[in-house]
Amino acid sequence: MVDQPIPIAPLDPAAVATPVATPTTPTTPATPVPAKDMKITFPQAIRAIMDGKKVRRLSWKNVDEYCVLMDEWLKIFIRNEFHTWQVSQGDMEGDDWVII
């Protein structure tokens, strides 16, 4: 048996569904940003830093210390100036980070 082409009827424009307008909704971030003063983990703190936020640990004695991303480097503001932040294991394991 020889395959025969299947006849296709011309497309009826009235039979085509028209797109329905949907209300626009604002986009939501892929990772929700924790509320201020909510304790977060180190990975969440890094995400917040990458989003332009300042973060600090509650266990740090000086409340004026915080970390930011500056000139593509992690920086810590301590003693009234910025320093390159050498992250310790304790900081990475800490779960007392907050966004300030």
pTM of the model: 0.62
Split into its structural domains, the chain has a count of 1
User: Does 95 fall in a domain?
Assistant: yes
pLDDT tens profile 15-69: 544 444 445 545 444 445 555 568 999 999 999 999 999 999 999 999 999 999 9
Domain extent at residue 66: 34-99
Tell me whether residue 66 is in a domain. Answer: yes
Closest CA to 36 of 54, 61, 63, 52: 54
Beta 66-70 vs 73-78: how paired, if at all?
A: antiparallel
* pLDDT tens figures, 67-100: 999 999 999 999 999 999 999 999 999 999 999 9
Q: Residue for token digits 């424009």?
A: 13
Q: Is the pLDDT of residue 9 over 90?
A: no
Categorize the per-residue pLDDT at 14 as very low, low, confident or very high, splitting at 50, 70 and 90: low
- In one-letter notation, the amino acid at residue 9 is A
